Structure 1
Amino acid sequence: MPEALAVSGRDRDRFGVEGAEPERAMREFTDWVREAAAGAQPVVCGCPASYDWTFLSWYLIRFTGSSPFGHPGCPDMETLDATKAGPPLRAVAKGTMSREPLCRRRHTHHALDDAVEQAELFANLMAWPSRRP
């Protein structure tokens, strides 16, 4: 945990004093997602998706009673790469993904930068033609 906080530049103690209560934060997040989706079905995508999805889904259900992403609303980009590129699913990790759809942004570990990077990778993967026959 200290390493993650050091990379992000965040102060966990400060969050305890200044951060929003989970109920409020998750409600505001849900409202923001629904507004940003503008009537479309939002998804959480990740690489791998399981880390963010587990945390986010639990918090949303626990503190708001539902998720704007529904179930399942979490495509995994490593799995998507494997289905399009052809390697066995267990052989795929972010470091072994196909190079063509990868995002060209520098990975900073800053939450907003990471979100933009992941969104670009997801868009690239969705547009990338399958190599499978």
Structure 2
Amino acid sequence: MAARRIKPSRYISVDIEADGPIPGPYSMLSIGAAVAGVQDGDGFTAADPEERTFYRELRPIGEEFVPEALAVSGLDRERLLVEGSEPTVALTEFSEWVREVSAGAQPVMCGYPASYDWTFLYWYLIRFTGASPFGHSGCLDMKTLYATKAGLPLRAVVKGTMPRELLSRRRHTHHALDDAVEQAELFAHLMEWQGPGSPR
């Protein structure tokens, strides 16, 4: 019997900045995304992470915020209340972009760590568009990917302990697009890495 054809996965690095720990009471203020690469039955092929990108700043959806969380991004809530994109518009544009760059493949969100960004992203997609282009489980956590390949407990993993050749040379700026591009490079390196003692 012929093997069932495997549909490729298009990996999209996503980073969000928010003003608190959970969506709903708190707001996603910006979203950045960069295509990291594609994987099919023959393996993984990295993409230029600057070639296909997406960025929006969003209008806050509530009054609550955590000053420390807001300070991380450096975004101005008062400015975003006036100039930020309406979440419905921004998330619809994002979904359309994901479908466009993933033509012929299944989109998979990847993040470091994915849990925080995915929580906001999925909640916002369902709340403001009614659907997610990634489905309900189309995300991959780079921290878990590294822990598995390195043979380490998940909670022992921090970027500072990773081999230098895996890390992006770009700075982590807490600007959502900058960080999405940086993480796309990290993801590509991780996908190509065979584990400790092997060249990337």
Q: Report the TM range for the smaller structure's normalisation.
A: 0.7 to 0.9
Q: 2:190 aligns with which of 125, 128, 131?
A: 125
TM (normalized to structure 1)? 0.86
Letter aligned with residue 186 of structure 2 = L
List gaps (5 residues or longer) in structure 1: none
Q: Which residue of 2 aligns with 1:91?
A: 156
State the shift of 1:84 in Å: 0.7
Q: Which residue of 2 aligns with 1:53?
A: 118
| CA RMSD, 1 decimal | 2.0
* C-alpha contact (below 8 Å) 1:81/1:98 kept by paired residues: no
Letter aligned with residue 42 of structure 1 = P
Q: Which whole-Å deviations, capped at 9, do the CAs of 1:55-100 have from their partners, x for residues lacking one?
A: 0000001111111112321111111011111112221123333433
* Residue 112 (str. 1) matches residue 189 (str. 2): no
More off after superposition, 52-61 vs 37-46: 37-46
Hey, what's the Cα distance between the residues in 1 that align with 2:80 and 2:141? 29
TM (normalized to structure 2)? 0.60
Residues 6, 90 of structure 1: CA spacing in aligned structure 2 closer, same or farther, 3 A cutoff? closer
Hey, what's the Cα distance between the residues in 2 that align with 1:47 and 1:103? 12
Hey, what's the Cα distance between the residues in 2 that align with 1:131 and 1:49? 23
Hey, what's the Cα distance between the residues in 1 that align with 2:145 and 2:195? 10
Q: Which residue of 1 aligns with 2:16?
A: none
Q: Which whole-Å deviations, capped at 9, do the CAs of 1:6-49 have from their partners, x for residues lacking one?
A: 55443211111122222111111111111122232222211111
Aligned residue for 2:123, secondary structure, equals helix
Hey, what's the Cα distance between the residues in 1 that align with 2:135 and 2:196? 30
User: When you count strand as a share of all residues, which structure comes out higher?
Assistant: 2
Q: Which residue of 1 aligns with 2:89?
A: 24
Hey, what's the Cα distance between the residues in 2 that align with 1:98 and 1:61? 37
Hey, what's the Cα distance between the residues in 2 that align with 1:79 and 1:96? 14
Pairs aligned (count): 132
User: When you count helix as a share of all residues, which structure comes out higher?
Assistant: 1
Aligned residue for 2:132, secondary structure, equals coil
